[in-house]
């Protein structure tokens, strides 16, 4: 499962950061997920719980911020919200949109108790 490996990466990253800061525990981990990243939020939460279990990150809260996907038209430069890879530009009707936001997932911050 894609989300399981993402969750394991998040847990690893959080633990590495927390240890560097000599944390007592991890309070929460904030992540950003694009609406077109293909990440299923429920599956990620489930994966996170499983990945964090019996680790230093157990009990940490996973805070998820969803980022709406946007695309820029290569012909007219209009920026529009999108829900699919091939969407027609509403301004010039070309199918030349580049997704500029909302395609990936990243960890924003790891909050710890020192
Ligand atoms: Zn256009």
The CATH number that applies at residue 15 is 3.30.2320.80
For residue 78, the CA-to-ligand 1 centroid distance in Å is: 6
Q: State how many domains the chain has.
A: 1
For residue 38, the CA-to-ligand 1 centroid distance in Å is: 25
Give 37-63 pLDDT, tens digit per residue. Answer: 999 999 999 999 999 999 999 999 999
Q: What is the mean pLDDT of the chain?
A: 94
For residue 63, the CA-to-ligand 1 centroid distance in Å is: 35
For residue 92, the CA-to-ligand 1 centroid distance in Å is: 4
As a whole number of angstroms, the distance between CA 19 and CA 107 comes to: 17
As a whole number of angstroms, the distance between CA 89 and CA 7 comes to: 35
Q: Please enumerate, as own/partner, the contacts of 96-101 that have beta carbons within 8 Å and a separation of 24 or more.
A: 97/71, 97/72, 97/73, 98/71, 98/72, 98/74, 99/36, 99/69, 99/70, 99/71, 100/70, 100/71, 100/72, 101/34, 101/67, 101/68, 101/69, 101/70
For residue 32, the CA-to-ligand 1 centroid distance in Å is: 28
* For the chain, percent of residues with pLDDT exceeding 90: 86
Give 3-15 pLDDT, tens digit per residue. Answer: 999 999 999 999 9
For residue 67, the CA-to-ligand 1 centroid distance in Å is: 22
Identify whether the C-beta of residue 53 lies closer than 8 Å to the C-beta of residue 19.
no
For residue 58, the CA-to-ligand 1 centroid distance in Å is: 47
pTM above 0.75, yes or no: yes
Question: Which residue range(s) make up the domain with 45?
Answer: 2-113
């Amino acid at each position: 499962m894609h989300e399981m490996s993402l969750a394991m990466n998040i847990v690893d990253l959080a633990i590495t950061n927390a240890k560097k800061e000599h944390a007592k525990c991890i309070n929460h981990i904030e992540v950003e997920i694009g609406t077109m990243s293909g990440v299923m939020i429920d599956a990620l939460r489930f994966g996170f719980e499983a990945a964090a279990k019996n680790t230093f990150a157990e009990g940490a809260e996973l805070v998820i911020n969803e980022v709406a996907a946007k695309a820029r038209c290569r012909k007219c430069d209009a920026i529009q919200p999108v829900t699919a890879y091939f969407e027609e530009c509403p301004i010039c009707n070309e199918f030349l949109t580049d997704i500029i936001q909302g395609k990936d997932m990243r960890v924003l911050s790891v909050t710890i108790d020192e």
